[in-house]
Chain A
Amino acid sequence: GAVVSQHPSRVICKSGTSVKIECRSLDFQATTMFWYRQFPKKSLMLMATSNEGSKATYEQGVEKDKFLINHASLTLSTLTVTSAHPEDSSFYICSARDLARGGEGTEAFFGQGTRLTVV
């Protein structure tokens, strides 16, 4: 199956600093990638939809100036958490859909996730 690589898997940063998380589709092109956040003991919540070459679409309640998303190529999307605070500590997961496979129900492929801890 298609592979999505997310890096880093774990990161610890100080309050006020910024952290960049990368999401790469290794063997397919993804015009659209999705960024999710998973709170402890809760489900995944979609943060934003990242479209190659255009601005990301953010879900309601997600601060676009805080969570900067860049999708500069068909195989790379980045999420930058700016001026991180302890409440930003969470598990962030990206996913991408291999549009070449097409069709309804095409599965999404997920990265391994990034555990962010802000101290």
Chain B
Amino acid sequence: AQSVTQLDSHVSVSEGTPVLLRCNYSSSYSPSLFWYVQHPNKGLQLLLKYTSAATLVKGINGFEAEFKKSETSFHLTKPSAHMSDAAEYFCVVKAGSQGNLIFGKGTKLSVKP
């Protein structure tokens, strides 16, 4: 069975400092992993995805994530936070033949001026 654990419910950083949002997954086979961002009262936007190609995945808005099989991790990083990055971030693993997604509980990112 697939599952995903986001280790931090809330992360607060200062503008211009690095961002690290942690995610661990459990999967019985090679997983497809995603990071989505949700701004307040809005839908979800895909940041990036891992599909068994390169282990370092670059996404939109300067975000990237590294798939580490040995650590079953898929942490999301960004070198320098912007105020506009403040949002909720979800780590997601794809499950099932039809492609339904299993969401982590989310990490709320706050960015201080």
Contact = CB atoms under 8 A, between A and B. Distances in A.
B105 interface: yes
Contacts of A108: 99, 101
A111 B43 CA distance: 6
Interface string A83-109: 000000001010101000001111110
Given A104-B51, A104-B94, A34 B43 contact: no
B43 A112 contact: yes
Nearest to B32: A105
A95 B41 contact: no
B50 A105 contact: yes
Given A106-B99, A115-B41, 11 more contacts: A32-B99, A43-B106, A46-B100, A46-B101, A46-B102, A91-B41, A93-B43, A97-B99, A105-B51, A107-B46, A108-B101
Given A32-B98, A43-B104, A95-B101, A113 B51 contact: no
Nearest to A94: B43
Given A43-B90, A93-B43, A113-B42, A107 B34 contact: yes
